[in-house]
Amino acid sequence: MERWHTHVLREKIDPSSMLIQGNRACALGALDAGVRFFAGYPITPSSEIMEAMAVELPKVGGVFLQMEDEIASICACIGGSLAGQLAMTATSGPGFSLMQEAIGYAIMVEAPLLIVDVMRAGPSTGRPTAPSQGDVMQARWGTHGDHPAVVLAASNVADMYRLTMAAVRFAQRFRTPVTLLADEVVGHMRESFAPELIDRYRLTSGDFDFSPSYIHPELVREVHPPHVLGSEAHPHVTGLIHDETGFPTNDPQKSEKFLRELYDKVGNHRDELCLYDVKNEGKGRVCIVAYGSCARSARAAWKLAEKEGLQVEVLHLYTLFPLPVEIIQKVARRVEFMLIPELNLGQYAREVRKMAENWTTVISMGKIDGTLITPREILDRVTELVGKYESV
Amino acid sequence: MSATAGAPGAGAGGGKAAQAARAERARASAVDRTGLLAGRDLVQVRFGGSGGQGVILMGVILAMAGARDHRFVVQTQSYGPEARGGYSRSDVIISDAQIDYPELEHADLLVALNQASADEYIRVLRSDGVLVYDSENVTAVPPFKGEQFGIPFTRLAFEETGRKQTANILTLGAVAGITGVVTAESLRKAVLVMVPAGTEEINSKALARGLALRDR
Amino acid sequence: MSEVLDIEQFLHTERLPHIWCPGCGNGIVTGAFLRAVLDLGLVREKTVVVGGIGCSSRAVGYIDLGTVHSIHGRALAFATGIKMARPDFTVVVLTGDGDGAAIGGNHFIHACRRNIDITCILFNNQTYGMTGGQVSPTMDPGDRGTTAPYGSIEPSFDLCRLAEAAGASFVARGIAANIRPLERLIKQGIQHKGFSFIEAVVPCPTEYGKRNPPAGVIAMLDDTKARSISVTAAAKMTPDELRDKIVTGILYEDDEAPEFQSAYAAIVERAQAGAAEAPARPKQPAAPRKPRKTAPERPPARNGEAADASGLPLEGGE
């Protein structure tokens, strides 16, 4: 068992006052979680993750590969994963698009994998150094066919460390690729960061266990017996729909059973997978539901509102998929409005609306100019809402 | 309020005890900070220049010094695709409290290394803020009524170390000396961590020269 | 016949019969590969075969070793990950001309360039068999496919020359019609430390043969056999004489070329010894490539001329 937080503590900075870049924190989180295989392709604004891995992985005997493109990168990762390595890649929108077919393969063959997407403004080449949250639905539905997805979103440098760890744990325990979404601001910013505080970071109403025992977590019961290359079973792995033997099947019943089990292994464990934090719980008529950089604006807006004598609730989501149905509906029952600030045109707001519209009015607040939504912009919208519709 | 223990909001939350200890250390460092902006519990700094002037590095070093003073810091940046030329800007927020919104809403301190950034960013500088600029690169100083310091950083750096490249470190010294946004001690340590190996000596000289400018 | 029984231990016999058409060369090459596995005494648990998508790649579904049926075109990328994760594995890629040279062409040249210790056996049947006889990058100009009803106007790849130019350190070609030499080449390729590329020319009577002469399985095999000549014989021939010929044997071999996985292991050693991240030694000019075993001019394509540039249908378009 490796010493916990080995890598982050090895940073040459005084641990009580660390300043780390988001992308570097992600690399350190991966190393501390036991990732020993990285294959990637350079792309702004994620390249610093890859560069950190190029330096650090050889030191711990891990594998670092710069492949010829993002398709090769994720395929090499799947190869590493099938051979028993904890594998990871990092990219941004254009590269993430290229990876989509292989992500479906990884889901199908139940290969644990971490994919970090540091989002930039798109579509296409877009604006490489401008933040965006435009890849949310790509992370959910980018690959073809019905499939489960586990998607987390980081809002600060500490998240880049601890959610990377959480993502690795989920990938192992559920044997599926997990996507960690960040954005250009979170990836490139440097922020004070105290590793000694990580163990007890609050991620849900309960505490997420970051103790060392999380390495090699038990598989959830719905996972099919893993086929690991090099094992005595000399397995067969295929992207065709297959049964538990690993060989393809055309039997309709077996096909449906297999696909439903893939779904269920994620859907049945939302209580474990859905990480979130509620601020100013039960106060005010409006709840700001936010993730990533926008959650920081939402928190600032809440504090600004308080100064101005207005109460708002904040629901900060760390897990976007599987959908955190329970907490969304719980909050929806007690507020009049749910305001969703996002750096896209309402991709996640549509999801929230599906879950919450029976109880509350869901309002999307999208921005796609390549800048963050400011706390003042959010507060202005909140004030407008509560002013326009007097409380009944 | 649930915003305290363990809240991950601004990067470095943690238990109440850890927070109290951090606040205590921050207060201790505050004693060593003197200058025009030393008394503010939240300082927003913008460095502007062209690519290759070391603007981003300046922001990183200042942020690291702020972290060494046990305060909360966030450093962000914006730059064009060019490695040389083009625009470059680096923002630092230093605060006694957790920082939620990571970008500047306005600046308390603007450090402009070229004419374009002085012209462009003067509008974000608060009227009670401080303007520091390289007087040889910024020849037409934009109208600003507050405290301002035009200093020929590049020339001074060349005189002091024989290398124009040390101008950014010299500028940082001047900024810290004049405004007190970070302690000289933390800045010294941050410079030594961040400058390329083998340049510690000349950069220390540049830093000392910059810090001494407060007395002029 | 005992040899046949012997290779059964490496076959999922319960999954037979296979999907290949009568007269297809894929089974012949798969058999040759399995006899090589047998002869070399490869350890079952440490031998991994990766296929892409297509007729050739379906072989992995019948082989009882560690097998990965991956994504179209990406077999070499998967294999690279597997080899790097487990350097002790023998990793073999079974691919085709569409899978390996069209959609997977980029991975192909980069795997060659890295010279990673993987053996790639490419079944070249000059068409897409599984999807119904479309034009492949090894189809000769003038040949017909379902997507070239008037004849293909694209020049074709000589994959062995491509592999060699890209940096593969073992390059060979064999034909399904002459199985023993092919088997030997596969064996040598697996034994070779570095990237080994073996092109196996196979007949596709169903999709290629029915649109292009000569028709019929036996005629196709005979034709390939008649046109194949050894690399030593080819060295003495003029480009004109080499027209239409299939040059077989080891076309290029360099046992000294640095292998990727070993080079990476050396990096790990240096990093663990605390070496600086910066390159420790001055940049040196790359060592000259070993000269070709033979340097025949590129033989002109079999059907010589390109299709009618006017775009009008040639005689008998489907």
Higher local confidence (pLDDT), A183 or B4: A183
Write the single-letter amino acid at A162. R
List CB contacts (< 8 A) between A177 and chain C. none
Return the pLDDT at A203: 53
DSSP secondary structure, A20-39, as one string? EEHHHHHHHHHHHTT--EEE
User: CATH second-level architecture of B33-215?
Assistant: 3-Layer(aba) Sandwich (3.40)
The full DSSP string for C175-228 is ETTSHHHHHHHHHHHHHSSS-EEEEEE---IIIIITTSSSPSHHHHHHHHHHHE
The residue out of A214, A248, A270 marking a domain boundary is A214
CATH label of the domain that carries residue C233: 3.40.50.970
Give CA C40 to chain center in angstroms.
20
Regarding predicted confidence, which is higher, A350 or B97? A350
For B28, the enclosing helix (H) or strand (E) is helix B16-30
Q: Count how many domains chain C has.
A: 1
Is B17 in the A-facing interface, judged by CB distances under 8 Å? no
CB–CB contact C86 A69 (8 Å): no
**Max CA-CA distance within chain B?**
56
A300/C contact by beta carbon, under 8 A: no
What is the mean pLDDT of the segment spanning A168-192?
Answer: 95
Same domain, residue pair A163 and A44: yes
- A62 and A206 share one domain: yes
**Same domain for A190 and A310?**
no
Q: Both A187 and A291 in a single domain? A: no
> Nearest-CA residue of chain A relative to C81?
A76
- Does A240 reside within a domain? no
Q: Are C43 and C82 in contact (CB under 8 A)?
A: no
Neighbours of B115 (CB within 10 A): 17
Q: Which residues of chain C have pLDDT under 50?
A: 1, 295, 300-318
The answer on A142 and A21 residing in a single domain is yes
Mean pLDDT computed over A342-370? 97
In a domain, A231, yes or no: no
Mean pLDDT of A238-250: 93
Q: Can you give the pLDDT at residue C313?
A: 35
CA–CA min distance A214, chain B (Å): 20
pLDDT cut 70: percent of chain A above it: 89
The amino acid occupying position B177 is G
**CATH code (residue A79):** 3.40.50.970
Q: What is the pLDDT of residue A205?
A: 39
Look at residue C316 and tell me if it is in a domain: no
Here the tokens at position C110 are: 């980069």
The DSSP symbol for A67 reads: -
The amino acid at residue A316 is: H
pLDDT tens for each residue of C156-205: 999 999 999 999 999 999 999 999 999 999 999 999 999 999 999 999 99
In a domain, residue A69? The reply is yes
Give percent above pLDDT 90 in chain B.
70
pLDDT for A351:
98
Q: What is the pLDDT of residue C23?
A: 95
Amino acid at A282: G
Q: Are B97 and B74 in contact (CB under 8 A)?
A: no
Query: Is C317 within the bounds of a domain?
Result: no
Domain extents in chain B: 33-215
A251-306 pLDDT tens trace: 999 999 999 999 999 999 999 899 999 999 999 999 999 999 999 999 999 999 99
Q: Do A196 and B103 touch (CB under 8 A)?
A: no
Which candidate, B85, B56, B110, places its Cα nearest to that of A189? B56
pLDDT tens, position by position, A15-30? 556 889 999 999 999 9
What does the pLDDT read at residue B216? 65
Looking at residue A193, its pLDDT comes to: 81
Does pLDDT of A137 surpass 90?
yes
Structure confidence at residue B7 (pLDDT): 34
Do A68 and C60 make contact, defined as CB atoms within 8 angstroms?
no
Q: Does residue C41 form part of some domain?
A: yes
Q: Which of B147, B142, B111, B141 is nearest to B128 (CA)?
A: B147
Q: Are residues A207 and A319 in the same domain?
A: no
Give per-residue pLDDT as tens, B18-32. 667 777 777 777 878
Which residues in chain A have Cβ-Cβ distances shorter than 8 Å to B64?
13, 19, 190
Which chains share 3+ C-beta pairs under 8 angstroms with A? B, C
> What pLDDT digit, counting tens, does each position of A58-75 carry?
999 999 999 999 999 999
Cα–Cα distance for residue pair C105/A295, rounded to 1 Å = 44
CB half-sphere exposure, B142, CA atoms < 13 A: 19
CA-CA distance, B92 to B45, in Å (whole number)? 5
- The predicted-structure confidence for A185-226, as pLDDT tens digits, reads as follows 999 999 988 765 565 455 553 445 555 455 567 889 999 988
β-pairing, B85-95 with B42-51?
Answer: antiparallel
Structurally, how many domains does chain A consist of? 2
Interchain contact, C69 vs A240, CB within 8 Å: yes
Residue from the list A55, A59, A80 with its beta carbon closest to the beta carbon of C85: A80
Whether B74 and chain A come into contact, CB under 8 Å, resolves to yes
Query: How confident is the model over A365-391, as a mean pLDDT?
Result: 92
CA distance A40 to chain B (A): 21
Instruction: Look at residue B102 and tell me whether its pLDDT is greater than 60.
Output: yes
Q: Which of A214, A234, A250 represents a domain boundary (last residue)?
A: A214
Residues 96-115 of chain B with CB under 8 A from chain A are: 99-103, 105
CB nearest A58 (choices: C67, C107, C268): C268
C96 Cβ contact partners less than 8 Å away, ≥ 6 residues apart: C52, C54, C55, C56, C57, C122, C123, C124, C125, C129
pLDDT tens track for A320-329: 999 999 999 9
Supply the range of the domain harboring residue A326.
279-388
Name the neighbours of C, counting chains with at least 3 Cβ pairs within 8 A: A
Among residues A214, A233, A257, which one ends one of the domains?
A214
Of all residues in chain A, the percent with pLDDT exceeding 90 is: 79
| Residue C135 and residue C217 in contact, taking contact as beta carbons nearer than 8 Å | no
The domain containing residue C21 runs over which residues?
Answer: 2-253
Instruction: Render pLDDT for B145-203 as a digit per residue (tens, 0 to 9).
Output: 999 999 999 999 999 999 999 999 999 999 999 999 999 999 999 999 889 999 999 99
**Rounded mean pLDDT of chain A?**
91
Contacts of C2 (CB under 8 A, 6+ apart): none
- Per the domain annotation, does A353 fall within a domain? yes
pLDDT of residue C317: 31
